[in-house]
Amino acid sequence: MERYEQGLISPGQIDSLLKLRLVLLFAEYPWLRMSAAQAQQRLGESPWAIAEALDELANAGLLSKTECCGQPMYRLTTMPECRLRLECLARSFDDPQRRDDLYELVRSASQERRYREMVMPRTGASVVPELEAFVI
């Protein structure tokens, strides 16, 4: 994978297929600004899952979040380096071979996130530095 894509697919960043779909949607239409309800209409996923995924992507710095008419609105981040990395990710997704690799990386990141959320807090363990280096 190219260096601009490193770190995007990892726990706390893009770590679910829904987040990948959302990021690719915003990368395809960089001018797009939408609410969780609008994203739910486009993607047909659970409104709660979409709202959570959008918030997590905004907290990770991949999307920007603003309030409009009493509801959060999301758009692609304005940080140039991050936008470039997301555009490279979208180009990689267009290649069928790399797409399969990206899906596998997202599944691995999802499993790692679930592990961190479920097992590590119960054991009192902190994040192992090797796990933080999980990048594509």
Instruction: Note whether 27 and 39 are within 8 A (CB).
Output: no
Instruction: Note whether 66 and 84 are within 8 A (CB).
Output: no
Residue 103 lies in a domain: yes
> The sheet that has 63-68: what strands, in order across it?
33-34, 71-76, 63-68
Read off the CATH number of the domain in which 77 is found.
1.10.10.10
Q: How much of the chain is in helix, strand and coil states, percent to nearest 5?
A: 60, 10, 30
67 CB burial (10 A radius; 0-12, 13-18, 19+): exposed
Q: Digits of tens for pLDDT over the chain (136 positions)?
A: 454 455 789 888 999 999 999 999 999 999 999 999 999 999 989 999 999 999 999 999 999 999 988 899 999 999 998 999 999 999 999 999 899 999 999 999 888 888 887 876 665 555 554 444 444 4
Residue 136 lies in a domain: no
